[in-house]
Structure formats: structure tokens, C-alpha cells
Amino acid sequence: MPDTYSVVRVHLICSTSRRRPWIDPEWRPRLFASASAVAGRRGAQLLCAGGTRDHVHFYLQYPPTLALADLVHTIKASTSRWIHETFAHRKEFRWHTGYAAFSVTPREDMALQAYIRNQETHHRELAFHAEYLGILERHGIEYDLRDVMD
């Protein structure tokens, strides 16, 4: 095959350290814009973002030459720095060390984007831990309850 064709899309979930409610709704869109700019500088594209006070969902497309772990590290480090520099009352902000990432097929695209954009509404009825465990189970990921909700 003379050319390379690739579409790599992932649903990324990141929570705040100790799930503290540090992400204020008033500036959440600016956080997403910051994450989008960071992703763009790495050759990736933030397709959609949503979240609540203690976690975010990013739907990303990135080139196959970029390691997902590197992209996630860059986004988390840069957005954390942005929060510290922008909001004096959030100097203690930290992302949780880990993250969850799931591959996305084109047929899931529209439903996933709607789900991500409606996180505030969604979490009025479903707690984060129930959502998170459900996503892990749907993707067949084994986990230890003692570690997963640290």
C-alpha cells in the first residue's frame, strides 16, 4: 500500500485529584479551549469536551505517530499550569494521576458527542463512580474496586 490512512479517535476521561470539585462551571469552556489548543499543537484535534466540577470527558482525534500517553500527559500538564496561572484560588488544583481512554468507532460518534456535551444533566441522575464503572464494564476492562475510585 503506497499511502497510510488512519483515523484514531479516543474518548478520554480525567478526574481531579481526590475528585475534588475544582472545575468551576464559569470557566470550564475556557479550560476546554486551553485543552483544544494544547491538543492542536501536538497535531491532535479536540472534537468535543464536557464535564462537571470533578471530571472531564474529551473526545480526541490524533495522528498514529503520537502516543496517547504523551498526548494525555501534555494536556493534563498544560491545563493544570493554565489553571494555576489563571485562578489564584485554584493553586492546589491537580489532575488524578491516571485516566481512562476508550477507542471510538465512527458509528458511535454522534451519540458520544451528545453524551459528553450533556455531562451536567447526566450527572444529576447518575453518580460519577456508577458512570465510570459502567464504562469500564462496557469496554471489558477488568479493575479492582480498591484502586479504580482512588
Inside any domain, residue 3: no
Inside any domain, residue 1: no
Domain count, the chain: 1
Tell me which DSSP letter residue 118 carries: T
Inside any domain, residue 94: yes
Whole-angstrom distance, CA of residue 55 vs CA of residue 58 = 10
The confidence band for 150, taking pLDDT boundaries of 50, 70 and 90, is low
Domain harbouring 125, CATH code: 3.30.70.1290
CB 84 within 8 Å of CB 95: no
Inside any domain, residue 2: no
Inside any domain, residue 83: yes
Q: Which helix (H) or strand (E) holds 62?
A: strand 55-62
Instruction: Of 15-19, 46-50, 117-121, give the range with the top mean pLDDT.
Output: 46-50
Total-model pTM? 0.91
**Residue range of the domain that includes 17:** 8-148
Tell me which DSSP letter residue 16 carries: B
